[in-house]
Amino acid sequence: MKVYIANFGRENYAWPDCLSRGTVATMNVVAAQPLWEAGDRESYIDFQLRGATARGVKPTRAVASRWFNLMTIINETEGDLWIHKDKDQIWWTISSDQPSKFETLVEPVWRNNEVVICHKPCQPWSKVSRIGNRLEWSTLHPKAKDFLSTESTLQKLGDEYADYAIALINGDDLSFWHGLPKWQQKTKNSKTSTAVIFNPRQKSVAIMARTATSTTVYANGQEVVRTVKNKDLLVPDLEFEPYINSLLDEQDGLCAISGLPLQFHGAEDDKAMLCSLDRIDSSKHYEYGNLQVVCQFLNMWKGARDNTEFCRLVDILQQGSPVAQT
Do 162 and 277 belong to one domain?
no
Do 135 and 22 belong to one domain?
yes
Give the residue among 282, 290, 275 at the shortest CA–CA distance from 310.
282
CA distance 75 to 66: 14
263: DSSP letter: B
Counted domains in the chain: 2
Per-residue pLDDT tens digits of the chain, which is 326 residues long:
999 999 998 888 999 999 999 999 999 999 999 999 999 999 999 998 887 665 556 777 878 888 899 999 999 999 999 999 999 999 999 999 999 999 999 989 877 889 999 999 999 999 999 999 999 999 999 899 888 888 778 889 988 899 999 999 999 999 999 999 988 888 887 765 544 456 788 889 989 998 888 743 333 344 444 444 457 888 888 888 888 988 887 787 889 888 888 888 877 878 999 999 999 998 888 888 899 999 999 999 998 888 888 988 888 887 764 443 33
CA distance 83 to 231: 42
Give the residue among 52, 7, 5 at the shortest CA–CA distance from 29.
52
Confidence (pTM): 0.74
Phi, psi of 30 (to 5 degrees): -55, -45
With respect to residue 195, please indicate whether it lies within any of the assigned structural domains: no
CA distance 103 to 65: 22
CA distance 257 to 259: 6
Do 28 and 175 belong to one domain?
yes
CA distance 159 to 171: 18
With respect to residue 17, please indicate whether it lies within any of the assigned structural domains: yes
Do 98 and 242 belong to one domain?
no
Domain span at residue 78 reads: 3-181
